[in-house]
Structure 1
Amino acid sequence: MNNTLTGLGLALVLALFAALIGPLFVDWSAYRDDFAREAGRLIGAPAKVAGDVEVRLLPTPYARFHGLSAGDGKRRLAVDEVEIELAFAALLKGEFKAERLLLRRPKLEIEINADGAVATPFTAKRAAGDADRISFDRAEIEGGAIVISAPSGRYQLHDISGVAEAASLNGPLRFDGAGSLSGARSALRLSTSRVEAGGSLRFKLEVAAEGRPETVTLDGALTSGPRPTFDGAVAIVRPAGRDPQGSDPWRATAALKGDARRLAIETLDIVYGPDDRAARLSGRGALLLGGAPSFDLALEGRQVDIDRLAESSEPTPGGRIATLGPRLAGLTRPPFGGRLAIDLGAIVIGGDLAQDVSAVLLARKDGWRIERLSAALPGGAKASLSGAVAFGGGGPGFAGPVDLDVADFAGLRRWIAGGARVAAGPARRISLKGDVTARIDAVTIDNADLTVDGAGSRGRLAWRSAEDTRGRPAIEAALASDRLDLDALGIDRAVFDGLKGGDFDLALTLDARSLVFGGVGMSGVALEGLVDSRALTLKRLNVADAEGASVSGAGRLALGDGAGDGELKLSAAAKSAAPLAALVRAVGASEAVAAGIETRGEALAPFRLAIELTTDSGGAKLAVKGDAAGGTLDLAASSAEISLNADAALQATLATPDGARLATLAGFSVSPLAAAPGGSLSISLRGSPAKGMAGKTRMTALGLDLGFQGDMAYAADAGARADGVVTLKGDDLVIFAEAIGRVTPGVLPPTPAALTAKLKTDGDETRLDAISGTISGRRVAGALSVPADARKGFSGDLSFDRGSLSELAALAFGPDALGQSADRRSLWPSAAFGPSPLRGLTGRVNMALGEADLTANRIARDVRFALVAKPNGLALENLSADVEGGRLTGVASVGRQNADASVTLDVALKGARAEQVVGAPSPLKGEIEIALQAQATGRSIAGLIASLNGAGSATIAKGAIAGFDPAAIARIEPQVEAGLALDASRIAEAVERGLGSGDLPLARATLPFTIAAGSLRSGALKAESSVARLDGGATLDLPRLWLDADLMLAAPSRDAPQVGVSFEGPLSGPRRRVDATGLVNWLSVRAVERETKRIEAMEAEMRDRARIAREKADAARAAKAEEARKRAEAEKRADAERRKQEAETKALLDALPQPASKPDQPQSVPPAVRGDAPQTRPEPALPLPMVISPLSR
C-alpha cells in the first residue's frame, strides 16, 4: 500500500514539473493559427494572430498574443497585444473565466451604409454555448479606439481606457473609463443587460466631458440585425451648481426611435434655468443621419419669462438679453444643418409681454438664418423680419429686411427704455421698413421708409458704437420728409445730449416742410450739421417759422480743447419766448427753470437779436445786440472756454420805459392794473460761473432801487449760488406792491423803506440774514429763509418796534377791508374783503412787536406770535401779549376762499384790570379773566361779526361794581316809615340815588356766555359777595355793540327784597334803569304786617286783662270753695274723732266691773268723752298732688 501511494505522489510531482517547465520548451508561435481559429470561433469572426504567442499553465494558465485582428477594411477589429489569465478551476470545468484581461491599443472600425445598414467585423455567429462559457472579472483597455465610417463623414472615439467586467459574452457587461472625441476628453460609463433571444440588448451609456458640467445619457434597447434599431431615451443635463462660470442649469430629454438613417424624436422636453424660474419648451422632430445629417424640430411653449431667467438689474429688454446671451453662447453654432420652428404664446421681457412669437430658423454650417420671425410687441407693435444671422469674432450679426408697425410708439419706447419715463406726447403710429444690417456694435437701415402718423420720410439711419468707430458712438440720420416729428423718434434727446457734452457724435441732414423738434413746431426747415467731440458744425440752418420765431445762420463752434477757431452767426426774431422755453424743457431742465425762462422771456418779446459766437485760442466770446423788452439790449460775454469752470466776464444792460418787463425779468409777477415806471437792469460779473463770479447787479424800476454786490456762481449739479449784500431803497414800497399785484392800487398810504441784508443762496434755499432798516420809520430786524421749493415754505424771525392790529387784519383780509362802513346796521367795516397780500404763499415767521395798537387808545406790549402763511389763509399761533396789566394768549386763524373768509379764535386774557380793559369811566373793578372760542364766516368784517358763533366766559375776582351799593335797598324802608310814599317811581328814584352812594364788593363773579349769529347771550351769573346777592343775565348785539342786561340785586338773606337793575343802550354808555316793583310790593307787605301786629297787640292786651279778671274771680271762687271744703273736712274729722272717743269710752266702761248703783243713776263719763268736750282745731288741708310729665307746664 505504501509503495502504491509513493508511486502516485511521484507521478503527480513529475506531472506538475512537466506542466511548469514544459511550456518553456514549446514553440507556441507555431500554433498561432490554432489560437486564431479558436479565438475567431469564440468572438464570431475570422481572426488572425500576426505576432508572437506566449503560454504557460502554472501557477495560473496565462496567454499573451501580439497582433490579433478580425475583419478588414472599414469593419475591422485589431488589438496590438492581448494578455489573459484564466481561472484554473473554471478551466477544468471547460469554462473560460478570465481573472485578468488586458487589451492594449484595441481598435474597432464600424461602417454605416447609406441605407442604414451597419457592418462590423463580427459577421459570423459564435459557436453555440461558447459565449456563455466565457467571462472575465476584470478587463483592462489601454489606448483603445472606435471608428465609425458613415456617408456624412468619419467619427472617431480614441484614447479609450478603462475597466470592464462581464458575466459572459452575452452580458451583462459593465465598463467604466474615458475617451476622447474631437479633442475633448470625456468620462464613459456603459452597462448592458444580457442579449435577449431576439437579439435585443438593453444598455445605458453615460458621457460626461471633462471640464464641462453637462452629462449625456442614452438609455434604451438596441436590436441587432442588418439595420440595427434603437428604441429608448436620451437626456442631456447640466445640473445646478456644477458650472464654475455660474451658467444656468438646463436639461433636454426626448424619446428616440429609429435606425442609423433616421431617429424620430418624440416628447421632446427642454427646461432651461432653475426649476422655480425655468423656461420650458416641448416639441418633436427627427434627426436625419444620412450623407448630410440634419434635424427638423418643432418647439412650442406657453410663456417664457426672460426677466426672471436673466436675473439682471438692467431693466431694459436689451439689457436682459445681453445678460442672458453669454449663457447661451454654446447654442450659436449648430453641429449640423436643420430646421427649427418655435412658437411661443408670450415672452416676459423688460416688464412686459412679447406675444404670439413665431419663428422658423434654418441652421447652416456658417450659422443660423431666419426664414421667418414675427411677434407682437408692447405698444401695439408688430414686427416681422427675415435674413441671415451670423456669429463671428465680433459677435452675432443680422442682415435682412425688417418691417415694424407701432400703434403706440410712446409705449414701445417706454418698454425699450425699461419702463423709464419718456417725453410726454400723444400716442403716435410709427411704421418703419428698410434693409437692416446689424451687428453688436452697429446698426444701419438703408432704404428706410419711415411713416409717423401718416407722414412719410425716406432716407438712411445708422448707429455705430465706440468699438466700431474706434472713438465715440455715432448716430447718423439723413431724411427728407413732408412732415416729421423728431421728438417722437427720440432724436431731440440725442441732439441735446450731444450739445451737453454727450459721448457720441451726431450727423443730421434734414429737409422738411414741417418739423417738430424739442416740442416746437417748425416749417420750412433745412438743416445740415454735425456734432462731435471737437465742434458743432452747421453747414446750413434755416427755420422759416418756429411758432412765431425765425432762425437762420451757419458756422462752426469749437467745443473742445485744440478744436481750433470757430465762428457761429445767428439771427433770431420772435414774438414770444414759447419756442425757447419748449427747447429748454426738451433739454431736460427742470420745470421751474423752463417756467422761469418762459415767464422772463415773455418780458423780452418781441425781440430781434443778432447773435455772434466766436471761439479761438483765447476762448469764446458772445455778443448779443438788438431790440428787446420794449427797449434796447446790449450783452457781451467772454470765457476762456465754453465751460462753467472757466473764467468769464459778463456785461449786460437792458433799458426800457416799461418797468413791468424789468420786474418780470427780475422774477416778479406784475399786475396789469398797476402803474409800472420804467428803468434799467444792469449786470457786471467776472469770474468762474461754477466757482464764483464777483460783481454787482442793479435794478431801478417800480419805485425801487434794488442792488446786490457779492459773489454769484452756477453749477449744473448744484444750481445757482450767491453770497453778498442786498440793499433796497424806495420812497414808496406801495408802488412795488401794487405793481406785483399784492395790494389793490390806491388803498395804502406811501410807505418809504430803507433796508439792507446779507443774502446767501445755494440753490436749495435763499437766506436773508442781518436784516436791518426801517419801514415807514419803524425799525426792522431779523432774518428770513426762502427755500427753492415753494411748497416747503419760508421761515424766519422778524422784530418791529411798533405795529398794529389793523395791519395784521390787512394781511388777512386785504387793506381795503378796513374801509368805513356804509351800513347803519353795523358799527363794523362792511367793505368787501380784498386779496390777501400773502395769498398763495406758505411759510412761518416768528414775529415780535414792541408795541401794537389795538384801538385808537389801547396798546398791547411785548407782542409775540408765529405768523403762519398758508396758500388759502393766515394764522397767528402761539400768540402772547401784555394787555392792560394782563397776558393775552391764544391762536387765531383765517381761511380764504375767493371773497369769503372764515375765522377761528381761541384766546384767553388773564390777570388784566377790569377798569383798564373796559375803559374810564369803568363800572367794573378788579382782576378780570376772559376766555373765548368762536368761529365766523363772511365777506366783510361786519359779515364776520354778524355770523360769529362760539362760547366763552368772563370772570372778575377781588373786585367791585361801581355805583351799585346794595345798602341802598335797606335804606328805603326807614324812608317809607318816615313818610316816603309807596309809589314805584318814587321808590325807584330813591334806590337809584342810593345805588350811587357806594360799590358792590365781589369776591368772584363768573358770567358764561354763548355767541350765535353775532349775538352774545350770557348764562346765569354766578356772583360771590358777602353783602348782597346778584343774579341776572345780559345780551350783547355785537354788530351794533348794543347791550341789554337785566340784573337782580338783593341782601344776602333769601327773604330779602330784590331790586331789578337793567342796562340798555350802546356798550360805551348804556342807560341804567331801576325796577323797584318788587321792592314796593315788599314794602307794602311790610306796612300791612306792621298794622296787623298793632291790632294784634291791642287784642292781646284786652285778652290779657279779661284773663286776669277771670283768673282773679276764679281764684276767689277757688279760695271760698277751698275754705268750705276745709271746714267740711274739719267737721268730718271732728265728728269722727268724737265718735272714736265715744267708742273708746264705751269700751272702757264696758270693761270695768259694774258698781252697785241704782239703775236709773247715770254713769259718770269723762269729760273728754262727753259731747260737751271742748272743740279741737281742724287739721290744715294738703296741697293738690303734683303731676310730673313732659307735657306739664
Structure 2
Amino acid sequence: MNNTLTGLGLALVLALVAALVGPWFVDWDSYRADFERQASRIVGAPVTVSGAVDARLLPSPYVRFRDVAAGAADARLQAAEIEITLGVGPLLRGDVVAQSVRIVRPRLSLTVGADGAVKWPGGASAAQETSIALERAEIVDGRIDVAAPAGRLAVTGLTGIAEAGSLKGPFRFEGAAATPLGRTALKLSTGRADAAGALRLKLAATIDGRPETFDADGLLTVGAKPRFEGQAVVARPAPRPGEGETPEQAAAKAPPWRLAAKVTGDPARLGFEAIDAVYGPDERAVRLGGEGALTLGPAPRFDLALASRQIDLDRSLDLGAGGPAARIEALLQRLGPVAHPALDGAVTLDLGGLLLAGDVVRGLRAELVSDNGAWRIGRLSAQLPGEAALGARGAIAFMGQAPGFAGSVDFSTGDLGAFRRWLEGGAAGGRAAVRKLAVKGDVTARIGGLTVENARVTADGAASSGRIAWRAAERGERERVEAALSADRLDLDALGLDRLIRSAARGGGGVDLMLALDAKALRLLGVAFEDVEIDATVDGNGLDVRKLLVGDAGGVKVSGAGRIAAGAQDGDLAFDIEGVDLRGLLTLARAAGLPEPAVAAIEARSSALAPVKLSIDVTIAEDGGAATVTGGLAGGAIEARYAAPAFSPDAETELTARLTSPDGRRLAALAGLALSPVAQAEGGEISLSLKGVPARRMAGEARVRALGLDLAGRGEAAAAEGGAWTAAADATLASGDVTGALEALGRLVPGAAPAIPVELGARVSLGRDGVALDGLKGAIAGRAVSGRLSAPSDPRRGAEGELAFNELPLAAILGVALSPDALAPAAGAKRPVWPSQPFGPSPIQGLAGSVAVTAKSVDLAPGRAATEARFTFGARPGSMAIRDFSAAFAGGRLDASLDVGRPDANATVALRATLTGARVERLAGLSAPASPVAGALDVAADVQGSGRTLGAIVATLSGAGQISLRDGVVRRLDPAALDRIEPRVIAGLPLEAAKIAAELDRAFAGGDLVLARASAPFTVSGGVVRTGALDDGGGPARLGGATSLDLSRLTLDATLGVAPRRLDAPQAATVIFEGPLATPKRRIDATALTGWLSVRAVERETRRIEAMEAEMRERARIARERAAAEEKRRAEEKRRADEERARAEEDRRRREAEERARAALQAPQRPETGPGAPALPPAIDITPPGGAAASPDPLTGAPPPQLR
C-alpha cells in the first residue's frame, strides 16, 4: 500500500515538474501556424504572428504573441503584443475564456466608402463565435485610424479596460483616448447582438478640463454599412457656485446649455430629428427645436432647420444695456467660434417672436449658407417694431470676433417715431415729422462703420438718393460722417443723423462731417429748411463752407460762405440773414455749441429782435480778428463792432454797439422787460462802449434812454467763467414822471396814478451773487430817500436792503401792496367812503425780498402821523408784509403787522395791531377840555378781510379785539343827575319821556363822569365792530351799553347806560351817540328812566290804596268774629236743650218697658193643648194707639221687642 502511494506521489511530482519545466523546452514556434489558423477562424480574416510566441501551463494557461496583424492594408488590425491568460475550468470544457488579456499598442485602421460601407479587418464569422469570452482586457496605447472621403480621423493613446461576454457581446469598455478635441474619457457598454446583428449601445464621453458631456443611447447594427438609431445628447451643466456665489451668479459666468436629438444614420449620412437645443438656466432658457442632417460623403455638408415660437433675448442672455443695435452687436460677437465653419451647409431659422430691447421682433426668418468657410445670408426677413419690415441678402464676414455685412438691404417702416424709440432703447422723443420711411441700398457694415451706396430713401412719398457713410473713431482717427444726398424732401432727423451732426458741429468727440446736400425741402435739428444747397466740411482742419444757400430756414433766409482754420489765425466768413423768425437759427446755434446762456438770452428776445436784416462779417488774421454787424434790428437800426487780436477773453478787446428804435416795447424786451399792451411805450436807444481785456477789466460807459427813463452808467466790467459778467459803475436814473415806465411795465394802470418824479444815484455792482446798489440817494415824488439795496442772482433768495425816508405816507405803502390806483378816491358828489376802484397790478408784483425801513414821519390819516417809525417791508410773489411796525402815535405807542396776499385779482389783508397809551383827545384832534372824552386809550385788534377793492376788503373785515380807557373823563355826564329827577317828578314834573330827557340833559351838564378804567371786548364781522359787555372798573357809576361801528360807512351807533352804583339807585339813563363817526350826535333816551319813574309813582299810589284796604279788612274781621261767637253761643244752648229732651224720652221708655215686664210676670199660665184641642184665638195687639212705634234701645239702637 505504501509503495502504491509513493508511486502515485512520484508520478504527480514528475507531472508538475514536467508542466513547469517542460514548456521551456518546447519549441512553441512550431505551433505558430496552428495559432494563426485558429485566430483567423475566430477573427474572420487572415491573422499573422510575426513575432515571438511564449506560453505556460501553470499556474494558469498563458500565451503571449508579438507583432500580431489581421486584415488587409486599408482595413487592418495590428498589435505589438498580446498576452492572454485562459481559465482552466472553461478550457477543460472546451470553451476559451480569457481571464485577462493585455494588448499593447493595438492599431485599428478602417476605411469608409462613399456609400457608407465600412471596411474593417474582421469577417462575418467573427460575430458568430460564442465560445470566446474576455473577462478583462487591458488595452495600452492603442490607436484607431479612420479614412473617409471627407478626410481622416485619428484617435490615439487609447488606454483602458474592456470586457466581452462573447464575440457577440455584451461588451464593456472604460478608458481614455486622445481625440481632436483633447484627452477624452470614454465609457462604453453594449448588449448582446441579436440575430440581425443589432446590439444596444451606450456611450458617455467627457473631455479633460472641460465641463461638456456627450451621451449616446441606441441600437447599433454592425455590418458592411453600420447603422445607429438612438438618442444623442451634448450638454454643459450649470457650474457649481464658488464661495460666496449664488447659483444664478455662477450660471451667469458660464451659462449651461444642452443639445439633444434623435439620431439615425450610417457612416454616409446622419439624420437628426426632434432636436431640442437649450441655452441658459431652465427658468430663462433659450429653446429651439427642429431637425437636420449631416452628409459625410466626399463633399460633406450639414443642413439644419431650427424654430421657436418666441425667444426672450433680454431675459435669457446678458447682452448689456442700450438699444437693439448694441445688443445685437454683443450677440454677434459671441458667435466668434462659428465665424468660420469647417463644413458647407445651410441653417434655416424661423422665430415667431423675438423679444429684444423691450419690444417684439415678429416673423424672423433667416437662411444662412456656409460656403468655403464663410457665411452668407441667403434670405433674411423680419417684422420690427414701428410697423417696420426688414429684408436683407449678402455676405457675412468676421474679422476676429467682429462681424461684418455686405449686401443689399430693404427697410421700410410705417411709424418711424415708434421705430426710433425702440432703436434708441426706449428713450422718449418728440413725434417724428416723417411717419413712413423706406430705405434701399447696397450696405457695407461692420462694427464701427456703415456705408450705404446707391441709397434710395423715400419719406412719406418724397424720394431722395445718394450716399451715406459713417466710420467710428479708431486707431487715433476721428469719427467721420459723410452724406451726399439730393432730394425733393429730406428729413435728416428722421434718419437719425441729427445727433451725429450736433456732435460734429460742436467739434466735440472728434467728429468729422462732410455734407453735400441739394434739397427742395429739408428737416435738420428740428428746423424746416427750403431750397437748400450746402457744401461744407467740419473736421480737424476747421470749418470750410464752400456754399450755403437756404431760401427759408425756419423763417429766415441765409446765404454765405467762408473758411476758418482750426487753431490758426486765418479765416473769413460772411453771412447775410433776413427774416422774421429767429427760432430756426437759434436751434442751429445750439447745435453749433454756442453758449447756452447767450442762445437762451437771444431766444427770449427773438420776437423783439425780428424782423432782422443783417450782414455779418467775421475776419480772422494774424494781427487779430474783427466782427461787424450792420442792418435792421428790433424795428430800428444796429451798428456793432467787435475787434481783438485774438478771439480770447484774455486779449485786448474793443466793443461798441448802438441800437436805435422808435418802439420802446422792443427796447424793453431786449432788456428782459415785458410791457403792458395798453400802455404807451416811448422809444429811444441803447448804446454801449467798452475797451479792455474781457477776462480782467473793460472800462466804458452804457446808456439806455426809453420809456421816459434816462439810465446811464460809467464804470468797469469783466467777463467771468460760464459767460457771466461782473461790473461796477456809478449809475444815475432820472425821470420827470416814472409812472409812464411803470404803466408800460404793467405795474400801474394807465392814467390812474399822479406824476412821480424820480432822481436817484447809486454805486451799482454786478457779480455772480447778484446786483447791489450802495450809497443810494435821491428823491421819489419829492420825498428824500437814502439807503442801499441788493438783489441776488438766485431770485428764490429775494432782495434785501435798508431805506430811510423823511416822510412816508401809509397810502404809499398800501399802494405798493395793493396798487396805487385802487387807493384813489372816487370822483363825484356821492362818492363812497372807501375807494371802489378794483385793484390793479402791484408795482412789486413778482418780486421777493426784505427791506428794513425807517421813517421820521408816517402819515396814517389826514392830520394824524406816527413818528420815528421802524418796520420791515417783506415781499414775495403774490404777497406783501409789514413786520414789526413800531412808532410813536397820539402820545402812545403803535405796534402792528400787516399781511397782504394777492393770489389773483382779489386781495387778502390780515392786520394785527396794538395801540397803547394813546390820548383820546389827540386821536380826535381836539384839546383836552374840548374833547367829549379824555384819557389814555389801549386797543388790541386782529382782523382779516378780502376783496377786489379797498371798500370790499373793509366790508368783509372780521376778527376780534379789546379796547380800554384809563384815567378817563366823559364830559357832561354827571351820574348824580338821576337822583335829582324823581323829586322833580314828585314836585309835579310830568312823566313824559321828552320832558324827562330834557330835564336829565340839563342835570347831566352839571358834572363829568370820571373813570379809573373801563374796558370791553369787541368783535368784527362783515365790516362792523360790535362791543361786548362793558367792564366799568367799579367806579362811582354803573355803566352799561353797546357800540356798533360800521367801518364801511364810518357811522357810529353807541349807547351808554349810566346809573349810580347802589341798590336803590334810579333806572339808568341811556346816552346815545349816532351818525357819522367824525360828527356823531348826542341825545338822551329817558324812556327807561321815565318808565322807572312811572313805576315809582304807581308804587306810591299802590301803597296808599293798600293801607286803606287793610283798615277795612280789619273792621270786617272784628264783625265776623263777634257774629261767630254769638252763633256759637246759640248753638251751644240748643245742643244742651236737645240733650235734655233726649234724656227725658229715654227715661220714659225705660219705665214703660219695665211696667210691661211686670205685667207679663203677673198674668196666669195658659194650659197646654193636645192634638185634638181647638185652636187658640188670635194674638191681641197692644200697640199704643195712633200707630206710635216704640223707640229703639238708646244704647244698642235695636228696635223694642213686640209682644204677640
| Distance of 2:162 and 2:694 partners within structure 1 | 85
How far apart are residue 297 of structure 1 and its match? 2.9
- State the alpha-carbon separation in 2 of the partners of residues 1091 and 435 from structure 1: 134
Q: What is the CA deviation profile of residues 783-818 of structure 1, one whole-angstrom value per residue up to 9, with x for unaligned ones?
A: 33232xx6x463545554565443343333322222
Residues 1:924 and 1:39: Cα distance change in structure 2 (over 3 Å): farther
Q: 1:721 aligns with which of 720, 724, 728?
A: 724
1:241-320 mapped onto 2 (5 Å cutoff): 241=239, 246-320=253-327
Q: Please name the residue that 2:1074 is paired with.
A: 1064
The alpha-carbon distance between structure 1 residues 17 and 461, as it changes in their structure 2 partners (threshold 3 A), is same
Match in the other structure for 1:1154: none
| Aligned with 1:951 (options 949, 959, 971) | 959
How does the TM-score come out when normalised to structure 1?
A: 0.82
Aligned twin of 2:527: 520
* Distance apart, 1:308 and its partner CA: 2.5
Query: C-alpha separation between the residues in 2 aligned to 1:93 and 1:881?
Result: 136
Q: Deviations over 1:881-939 (max 9, x none)?
A: 45744564556232343xx314142635365647389544474755534333433222x
In structure 2, the CA distance between the partners of 1:955 and 1:448, relative to structure 1 (3 Å rule), is same
Deviation at 1:113, TM superposition (A): 3.1
Q: Deviations over 1:1130-1188 (max 9, x none)?
A: xxxxxxxxxxxxxxxxxxxxxxxxxxxxxxxxxxxxxxxxxxxxxxxxxxxxxxxxxxx
Alpha-carbon displacement from aligned partner over 1:272-308 (angstroms, at most 9, x marks no partner)? 2233332222223333344433333332223322223
Q: Partners of 1:75 and 1:771 in 2: how far apart?
A: 116
Which of residues 598, 612, 619 in structure 1 aligns to 2:603?
Answer: 598
**Counterpart for residue 383 of structure 1:** 390
Task: Using the TM superposition, name which of 290-299 and 537-546 deviates more.
Answer: 290-299
Aligned to 1:110: 110
Letter paired with 1:632: I
Q: 1:456 deviation in Å?
A: 1.4
Q: CA 1:299/1:822 → structure 2, altered by over 3 Å: closer, same or farther? A: farther
| Counterpart contact for 1:431–1:451, Cα < 8 Å | yes
Give runs of aligned pairs for residues 525-564 of structure 1, distance below 5 A: 525-559=532-566, 561=567
Q: Is the 8 A contact 1:622 1:638 kept in 2?
A: no
Q: C-alpha deviations, 1:998-1018, integer Å up to 9, x for none?
A: 336375633343423xx4163
CA change 1:645–1:160 in 2 (3 A) is farther
Do 1:686 and 1:694's aligned partners in 2 also have CA atoms closer than 8 Å? yes
Superposed, which structure 2 residues align to 1:710-789 within 5 Å?
A: 712-713=718-719, 715=721, 719-732=722-735, 734=739, 736-746=741-751, 747=753, 748-761=755-768, 766=770, 768=772, 772-774=776-778, 776=780, 777-787=784-794
Q: How does 1:425-436 map to 2 (within 5 A)?
A: 425-436=432-443
Q: Which moved more, 1:238-247 or 1:543-552?
A: 238-247
What does residue 419 of structure 2 align with?
412
- What is the correspondence of 1:208-227 to structure 2 with a 5 Å cutoff? 208-227=206-225
| Equivalent in the alignment of 2:140 | 141
* Partners of 1:813 and 1:550 in 2: CA distance: 48
1:150 to 1:924, Cα distance in 2 relative to 1, 3 A = farther
Compared CA separation, residues 106 and 821, structure 1 to 2 (3 A): same
The aligned counterpart of 2:653 is 649
Distance in 1 of aligned mates of 2:573 and 2:1055: 92
Q: Secondary structure at the match of 1:419?
A: coil
Corresponding residue for 1:233?
231
Aligned equivalent of 1:982 = 991
Structure 1 gap segments, 5+ residues each: 1114-1193
One-letter amino acid of the counterpart of residue 1082, structure 1: W
Distance 2:144 2:439 in 1: 56
Q: Check whether the contact 1:1064–1:1072 (CA below 8 A) recurs between aligned residues.
A: yes
Alignment equivalent of 1:1043, drawn from 1018, 1041, 1052: 1052
**Counterparts in 2 of 1:723-1122, with a 5 A limit?**
723-732=726-735, 734=739, 736-746=741-751, 747=753, 748-761=755-768, 766=770, 768=772, 772-774=776-778, 776=780, 777-787=784-794, 792=796, 794-796=798-800, 798-801=802-805, 803-822=808-827, 824=830, 826-839=832-845, 841=846, 843-845=848-850, 847-850=852-855, 852-856=858-862, 857-859=864-866, 863-865=870-872, 867-870=874-877, 873-876=878-881, 880-882=885-887, 884=889, 885=892, 888=895, 892-897=899-904, 900-905=905-910, 907-909=912-914, 911=916, 913=918, 915=920, 919-920=924-925, 921=931, 923=933, 925-926=935-936, 928-938=938-948, 940-946=949-955, 948=956, 950-956=958-964, 960=968, 962-963=970-971, 966-977=975-986, 980-995=989-1004, 997-999=1007-1009, 1001=1011, 1005-1012=1015-1022, 1015-1016=1023-1024, 1018=1026, 1020-1027=1028-1035, 1028-1051=1037-1060, 1057-1090=1067-1100, 1092-1093=1102-1103
**CA distance change for structure 1 residues 325 and 437 in 2, over 3 Å: closer, same or farther?**
closer
Paired AA for residue 1049 in structure 2? R
> Which has the higher mean CA deviation after the structures are superposed, 433-442 or 723-732?
723-732
Out of 224-233 and 500-509, give the one that drifted further: 224-233
Task: Give the corresponding residue for 1:613.
Answer: 618
Deviation of residue 475 (structure 1)? 0.9
CA shift in 2, pair 1:650/1:366, >3 Å: farther
Alignment partner of 2:82: what SS? strand
Please say if residues 895 and 915 of structure 2, whose CA atoms lie closer than 8 Å, have aligned partners that are also in contact. Answer: yes
Q: Could you tell me which residue of structure 2 aligns to residue 569 of structure 1? A: 574
Q: Deviations over 1:488-510 (max 9, x none)?
A: 33434333321211312111111
Deviation (angstroms), 1:1076:
0.5
Instruction: Give the SS at the match of 1:322.
Output: helix
Give the drift of 1:373: 1.6
1:905 alignment partner AA: A
Shift of 1:377: 1.9
Q: Which residue identity is paired with 2:385?
A: P
Whole-Å Cα distance in 2 between the matches of residues 438 and 47 of structure 1? 63
> CA offset at residue 1071 of structure 1?
1.6
Which position in structure 2 is the counterpart of 1:159?
157
- The answer to whether the 8 Å contact 1:1063/1:1070 transfers is yes
Q: 3-state SS of the aligned residue for 2:1031? A: strand
Aligned twin of 2:1181 = none
Partner amino acid for 2:964?
Answer: I
The 5 Å alignment of 1:348-497 reads: 348-393=355-400, 395-422=402-429, 425-467=432-474, 471-497=477-503
Matched residue count? 1085
User: What is the alpha-carbon distance in structure 1 between the residues aligned to residue 1001 and residue 156 of structure 2?
Assistant: 140
Provide the secondary structure at the position in 2 that maps to 1:155.
Answer: strand
Say whether the 8 Å CA contact 2:1030–2:1042 is kept in structure 1.
Answer: no
The match for 1:119 is 119
Residues in 1 aligned to 2:969 and 2:9: alpha-carbon distance in whole angstroms: 161
Match of 1:1181 in 2: none
SS in 1 for 2:493: helix
Partner secondary structure for residue 586 of structure 2: helix
Q: Percent identity?
A: 38
What amino acid sits opposite 2:1097 in the alignment? A
CA–CA separation in structure 1 for the residues paired with 2:750 and 2:1001: 56
Contact 1:918 1:924 (8 Å CA) reproduced: no
Pair 1:578-2:587 in alignment: no
Mean Cα displacement is larger for which, 125-134 or 549-558? 125-134
Q: Which amino acid aligns with 1:794?
A: G
Q: 1:867 to 1:124 in 2, by over 3 A?
A: same
1:355 counterpart SS class: strand
> Residues 740 and 99 from structure 1, CA distance in 2 versus in 1: closer, same or farther, beyond 3 angstroms?
farther
Distance 1:478 1:1045, change over 3 A: same
* Compared CA separation, residues 284 and 1077, structure 1 to 2 (3 A): same
Per-residue Cα deviation, 1:127-186 (whole angstroms, up to 9, x for no partner): 7564663221x62431x3333333333333333334445555555544444333336443
- Between 192-201 and 402-411, report the one with greater CA deviation: 192-201
- Residues 106 and 139, structure 2, Cα contact 8 Å, conserved in 1: no
Secondary structure of the structure 1 residue equivalent to 2:1089? helix
Distance 1:380 1:591 in 2: 38
RMSD: 3.9
